[in-house]
Copies of this chain bind each other. A is one copy, B any other.
Amino acid sequence: MPYFDSASAAPLHPVARQALQASLDEGWADPARLYREGRRARLLLDAAREAAAEAVGCRADELVFTPSGTHAVHTGVAGVLAGRRRIGGHLVVSAVEHSSVLHAAEAHEARGGTVTEVQVDRTGAVTAAGYREAVGASTALACLQSANHEVGTVQPVAEVAEVCAEAGVPLLVDAAQSLGWGPVEGAWSVLAASAHKWGGPPGVGLLAVRKGVRFSPQGPTDERESGRSPGFANLPAIVAAAASLRAVRAEADAEAARLRILVDRIRRRVVRLVPDVDVVGDPDRRLPHLVTFSCLYVDGEVLLHELDQAGFSVNSGSSCTSSTLTPSHVLRAMGVLSEGNVRVSLPPGTSAEEVNAFLEVLPGAVAGVRDRLGVTAPEPAAPEADAVEVDALGLRCPQPVIELARAIGRVPVGGTVTVLSDDEVARLDIPAWCGMRGHAYLGEAPVPGGVAYRVRRTV
Chain A residues at the B interface, C-beta cutoff of 8 Å: 1, 3, 5, 8-12, 17, 20-21, 24, 28-30, 33-38, 67-71, 74, 78, 99-100, 103-104, 106-107, 194, 196, 201-203, 205, 219-222, 230-237, 301, 304-305, 307-308, 312-315, 321
A202-B33 contact given A100-B220, A221-B103, CB 8 Å threshold: no
Q: How far is the CB of A445 from chain B (nearest CB, A)?
A: 32
Q: Is the CB of A70 within 8 A of B230?
A: yes
Contact in complex: B8, A33 (CB < 8 Å)? yes
**Central interface residue in A103, A106, A203, by most chain B CB within 10 Å:** A203
Q: What residues of B have a CB within 8 angstroms of the CB of A20 in the complex?
A: 24
Asked whether, in the complex, the Cβ of A107 is within 8 Å of the Cβ of B30, the reply is no
Q: A315, B33: Cβ atoms under 8 Å?
A: yes
**A103 with B37: CB separation less than 8 A:** no
- The prevalent SS among residues of A at the interface is mixed
Are A313 and B33 in touch, CB under 8 angstroms? yes
Residue of B17, B70, B312, B321 touching A232 (CB-CB under 8 A): B70
A35 to B3, CA, bound (A): 9
The complex is assembled from copies of this chain, and their number is 2
Q: A28-B196, A201-B234 are in contact. List 16 more A-B contacts (CB 8 A).
A: A3-B35, A5-B30, A5-B35, A9-B30, A20-B24, A24-B201, A68-B234, A71-B230, A74-B220, A78-B219, A100-B222, A100-B230, A103-B222, A194-B232, A202-B236, A205-B231
Q: Which of B33, B99, B232, B314 meets A5, CB within 8 Å?
A: B33
Q: Which residues of B contact A232 (CB under 8 A)?
A: 9, 68-70, 194, 196, 202
Name the contact of A74 in the complex, choosing from B29, B99, B219 (C-beta under 8 A): B219
Complex contact A36–B231 (CB within 8 A):
no
- Given known A-B contacts A234-B203, A236-B201, A308-B36, A67 and B67 have beta carbons under 8 A apart: yes
Say yes or no: A38 contacts B100, CB within 8 Å: no
**A222 CA / B99 CA spacing, docked (Å):** 8
**Contact in complex: B313, A38 (CB < 8 Å):** yes
B35 and A9: CB pair below 8 A? no
The answer for the CA separation of A234 and B107 in the assembled complex, in Å, is: 24
Contacts of A37 in B (CB 8 A): 3, 5, 313
Partner of A308, one of B21, B30, B34, B68: B34
Residues of B within 8 A of A17 (CB): 24
Q: What residues on B are CB-neighbors of A236 within 8 Å?
A: 201-202
A16 to chain B, nearest CB (A): 9
Given known A20-B24, A104-B220, A236-B201, contact A67–B231 (CB-CB < 8 A): yes
CB distance from A346 to the nearest CB of B (A): 15
Q: What are 16 A-to-B residue pairs whose CB atoms are below 8 Å?
A: A1-B36, A3-B37, A9-B30, A17-B24, A35-B307, A35-B308, A38-B313, A67-B234, A74-B230, A78-B219, A103-B222, A201-B236, A202-B235, A203-B203, A203-B237, A234-B237
A274 CB to closest chain B CB (Å) equals: 20
Q: Which 10 A-B pairs have the closest CB atoms?
A: A68-B231, A67-B67, A203-B234, A35-B313, A103-B220, A70-B231, A107-B220, A203-B203, A104-B220, A8-B30
Q: Cβ of A314 and Cβ of B74 under 8 Å apart?
A: no
Please give the distance in Å from A91's CB to the nearest CB on chain B.
12
Q: Smallest distance from the beta carbon of A225 to chain B beta carbons, Å?
A: 11
Measured between beta carbons, the chain B residues less than 8 angstroms from A235 are 202
Q: Which of chain B's residues have a CB closer than 8 A to the CB of A203?
A: 67, 203, 234, 237
Chain B nearest CB from A334 CB (Å) reads 22
Chain B residues, Cβ within 8 Å of A36: 1, 308, 313
Residue contact A304 to B68, C-beta cutoff 8 Å: no
